[in-house]
Amino acid sequence: MTAPLTPDDQPSSSPSPSYESRGGRAALLGAVRSELPAAGVVAAAVTVSGVLFGLLWVWLAPHVPLVSDGRAVFLKNSEGEQAIGADGTFALLGLGFGVVAAAVVFLFRRAGGIAVVAALAAGALLASVIAWRLGVWLGPASDVAAHARAVGKGVVFDAPLRLGAKGMLLAFPIAAMAVHLALTAAFGPRDPEPGPPWEAGAGSR
C-alpha cells in the first residue's frame, strides 16, 4: 500500500523557468541567425553608398579660396563661410543618404530584425567615414605650402577639403535609424491581437 502523494510530490505540468528562459534565448539566437544573410547584404550596400556620398561632397561643398604673397598663405576672403559650408554640406548629404537608405532597407526587409537594423547603423557609419576620407583624397591638395609655391605669388587656389566637426559623421546613421524606426512603427507588420477570453478558454478545452 502506497502513501498518497503530497502537493510537493506531484509532478508539475508547467515547464521550469530555467527551461523557458533557455528556450527564449534559443529562439532569439535562431531569429538573429536567420537574419544574417539579409544583414550582410544591407551592410555591404549601405557601406558602398559612401563612395557616391564622397563624390557628391567633393562636387557640392564650397571651396575655400587661398592666396599667397610669396611668404605666407592667406584667406582670399577673410569673412567667407566656405569652411563651415563644407561641414554643412556633408551633414545635409548624410541626412539625405540616411533617409534613402532607411526607405530602401525597409522595402527590402519589411519585417526588420535586430541584425538588419544593426547592419544599417554600422553600414551608415562606415559609409560616412568612406565619404569623408574619399572627399579629402579627391579634393584639393592637402599640402598648402607646396600648392602655393606651385601656383605662384598672387594666384588664387583652393584650400584642402576638410571636415571640421567630426560629429557630422553621425548624420547618416542617425537619420537612417530614425527614419527606419518611423517606417517600421507606421507600416511594419503587426502582431495578431488576442481574441476574447472565452475564445481562448474554448481553445484550451
Chain segment 109-141, per-residue pLDDT in tens: 887 788 999 999 999 999 999 999 999 999 887
The closest alpha carbon to 187, from 117, 114, 119, 112, belongs to 112
- Is 201 domain-assigned? no
Q: How many domains does the chain have?
A: 1
51-81 per-position pLDDT tens digit: 999 999 999 998 877 777 666 665 656 555 6
54 in any annotated domain: yes
Asked, for residue 16, whether it belongs to a domain, the answer is no
Residue 92 lies in a domain: yes
Residue 124 lies in a domain: yes
Rounded distance between C-alpha atoms, residue 148 and residue 59, angstroms: 22
Q: Which residue has the higher pLDDT, 27 or 132?
A: 132
Query: Structural domain of residue 46, as residue ranges?
Result: 37-64+79-142+160-188
| Alpha carbon distances (Å) from 128 to 98, 161, 168 | 10, 15, 9
Stated pTM of the model: 0.74
> Which comes out higher in pLDDT, residue 121 or 4?
121
Cβ atoms of 92 and 85 within 8 Å: the answer is no
**Would you say residue 152 lies in a domain?**
no
The reply to whether 133 falls in a domain is: yes
- Whole-number pLDDT of residue 63: 83
